[in-house]
Amino acid sequence: MGFMKLKRILASRRLHVLLGIAVSAGLLIYVASTVKWGEVLFHLRHAHLWVLIPALAVFGVHYALRAYRWRFLLPPEKPAEFGALFDALMVGNFATYVLPLRAGEFVRPFLLSRYSSFSFSSCFVSVVVERFFDLSMVLAAFAVVVRYIPGLPDWTHQGVIALSTLALGIFVFMLTSALAPRLITRLIEYLSGFLPAAIRPGVHRFLTDFMRGAQVLHNPLNLTRIVLLSLLVWGSCFVLFYVFCLFFDIPPSIWIAVTVTVIIALAVAAPSAPGFLGVYQTACLAGFQLFGISAELAVAYSILTHALHFALFMSYGSFALFRRNLRLADLTQRSTS
């Protein structure tokens, strides 16, 4: 029985890997057929490389804020060292960029659990709660930015209302999970009866873990810190993509930067090859074309900024692993076993 279960898990993983590769390949073919590559190379050759200086500064601030926020998503009785939080975050991003199935989502909490007093379960649940905060922030930002995108049809206003409601609903769910866990537990047990039997245990386990992690929101001061830090995290992310626009002759507009950031954040939820290859490029293309910016300029932007993310994650992630005498392959194998 154990062997058959393992066989099914491995088959499912292979299927997800192949699906991600297929999606990335299809999107890359689409992007490649959309642009004139001579113009893309022209934009890349004439990129303003001095922008690397402010880009690196904002990049560092953004991920430092993410690491600092993570501290308040963990059980409060055992504060984590900032260095361990930052290293785990960056190594996790490195793993996501080079390994399939978003391995960084497991590597990151596993690495922190090795160099802190937290269990892997506590660290992993904190990442789940963080994702809910990020999703609510992205949806709220999208609901705002849609008003500043020119030429959108009238039905988008209904979409704005739906996204705003969803963002508010996620936030209310998080608060209710922290303040009234028994109510949410009864609701989950009732709603799980409508789910297919095959996925019911997994959904129930996920929501139970989420409620356990949401207990950190019970403290009003801690909740305030997390909300404010989430605003700063996404504000710095919008600034980063604004600074990226300065690499090229793109009209400086915070609304362009916010739109592209939000579309990328939503797009990377789709299955893809490691590092969101193809998905990232397509999201940039879609975001910039809403503002009438050429496909060639959008693709040049996507290539340069995606490569920069990869180089920074690889450089710091490799350094952090070397400093802690670890190998990414061993870390991945242990965290997913």
Give the pLDDT confidence score for residue 67 in this predicted structure: 97
Q: Determine how many CB atoms are found less than 10 A away from the CB of residue 37.
A: 10
Helix (H) or strand (E) holding 238: helix 220-245
- Side chain identity, residue 119: S
d(CA 215, CA 208): 11
d(CA 269, CA 292): 25
Long-range contacts of 153-160 (CB under 8 A, 24+ apart): none
Give the pLDDT confidence score for residue 336 in this predicted structure: 62
The two three-digit tokens of residue 58, written as one number: 């904002």
d(CA 262, CA 82): 27
Length of the chain: 337
- Sequence-ordered list of residues with C-beta below 8 angstroms from that of 14, at least 6 positions apart, any chain: none
Give the pLDDT confidence score for residue 178 in this predicted structure: 77
Structural contact between residues 79 and 295, judged by C-beta atoms closer than 8 angstroms: no
Give the pLDDT confidence score for residue 182 in this predicted structure: 80
Give the pLDDT confidence score for residue 215 in this predicted structure: 80
Give average pLDDT by consecutive 10-residue segment, the chain, 337 residues.
46 81 96 96 97 98 98 85 96 94 90 89 88 88 82 69 77 80 79 76 72 79 93 97 95 91 92 95 95 96 98 96 88 69
Nearest to 223 by CA among 163, 133, 298, 162: 133
Give the pLDDT confidence score for residue 109 in this predicted structure: 93
- pTM for the model: 0.88
